[in-house]
Amino acid sequence: MSEGYFHKLHRETPTRFWVNNPTTAEAAAAIEAGTEYCTTNPTYSIKMLQHPAMKEEAMTLLDQVASKESDDSLAASALQGQIVGKIMDVFAGVHRSSGGKKGWVSIQGDPEKEDDANEILREAEDNRKLATNYIAKVPVTKSGLKAISELASDSVPVIATEIMSLSQAVQVCEAYVDAVSGLKNPAPLYVTHITGIFDEQQAAWKRETGADIDDSILSAAGFLAGREQYRVLKERKYPVTMLGGGARGLHHFTDFVGADMHITINWAGTADKLIEQNPAIDGAFFRKFEPKVTEILMDKVPDFKAAWTEDGLSVDEYESFPPVVLFRSMFLKGWKDLKDVIRENRK
C-alpha cells in the first residue's frame, strides 16, 4: 500500500489517529491506513444493529445474549461486549506486535449506571475477560473519578472521557498520579477532550439565547479549550496522553495536527475523507490566535469561561455541565434504543 495521509501524518508528527465506532471491515481498513487504536461508545451496538454490513451478525449475537440474560440492561451490556469483541479480534495482532502497548479497543459501560462507581467497576471487570486489548472508557464525573482511580491502581488501561473542561482534565490526571504511585509499569491513561460536542453545545446555546457573538469566534471555543488543557497537562508533565474526541467535522482532527496527542474519528465521513483529500500537514495546532478571541469567549460564553479556568467547575458540577449533558444524552438515547430492540426481540 502506498503512503497515505495518516502514514505521512504519523511519520512527520507525534499526532496519532484512532478509529471510532467502526464495523469490522472499517477497523481493518483503518489499520491498513495507519491506525493502531480504536474507541467505541454506548451507541455502538445500536449502530451496528442498524448497519447494513453488520446487522445480521449483530442480531445473531443479540438473540444469543437475550436468550441467556432476562434483564434488558444486563443484556445490553453483554451484547455491547460481544459486538465490540469482534473489533478486539481485528486489533489483536496490533496489540501482540506492540508488546501490549497498542491495539487498545475501548468499551464504555451502561450510561444509565455511570453515576455509580461500583457499577462502572463491575462492568469493567466483566469486560476485562473479553480480551487483553480491552481498555476501559470512563466519564470524568464524581463517580467516574473514583472508578478511574481504582482501575488505574489495578493496572487497567483507561480512557477518561466526557471531558469538557480544564478542571476535569487536571482532576483526572491528579487522581491517576496518586493511583499509580509506586507501580513499576502503570497502565496508560488517555485524557479525552470532546471538542466537537463542546462546539455543538455552544452553537445550540447561541440559537437558544440569541447571544451576540460572531460564529467564527464561537467556533474556536472547543479547540481553544482543548489547547489550554494540552498546555497545562504538558507544563505539569502529567504521565498521560491527551486524546481528542467527539469530532463533528474534519477540522476537529486537522486543527490538532502537530500536537503530541491522539484524536479519535469515525471512519466513514471523516477518516476516509481525510485520506481522499490528503490535506497539508502544517502543524495547525500551534497557529496563533488573536488574544481578543479568547477574551471575547471568556466575556460572552459562560461555558467557555467555566471550561477555560481550572477552578471553573467543581467536581460536583461536572455531570451537570451543559456540554457533558448533551454528550451523555446521546448515549442515553442510544442505550434506550438498544434496550427497546432487545425487548422487542424477546416478544
Tell me if residue 212 falls in helix, strand or coil.
coil
Tens digits of per-residue pLDDT, 287-334? 888 789 999 999 999 999 999 999 999 999 999 999 999 999 999 999
Name, in order, each residue with C-beta under 8 angstroms of 121's C-beta and a sequence gap of 6 or more: 147, 150, 151
pTM listed for this prediction: 0.96
Length of the chain in residues, anyone?
347
Residue 114: per-residue pLDDT: 95
Residue 128: per-residue pLDDT: 96
Q: What percent of the chain has pLDDT over 90?
A: 96
188 dihedral zone (left: phi>0; alpha: psi -120 to 50; beta): beta
Task: Tell me the sheet residues that pair with 265.
Answer: 19
Domain carrying residue 326: 5-346
Residues of the chain with pLDDT under 70: 1-2
Residue 347: per-residue pLDDT: 76
Residue 131: per-residue pLDDT: 98
Residue 1: per-residue pLDDT: 52
Tens digits of per-residue pLDDT, 18-39? 999 999 999 999 999 999 999 9
Residue 287: per-residue pLDDT: 86
Residue 346: per-residue pLDDT: 84
Choose among 239, 234, 236: nearest CA to 177. Answer: 239
Task: Report the CATH number at residue 311.
Answer: 3.20.20.70
Q: Roughly what angle, to the nearest 10 degrees, separates helices 55-68 and 322-346?
A: 70
Q: How many domains does the structure of the chain reveal?
A: 1
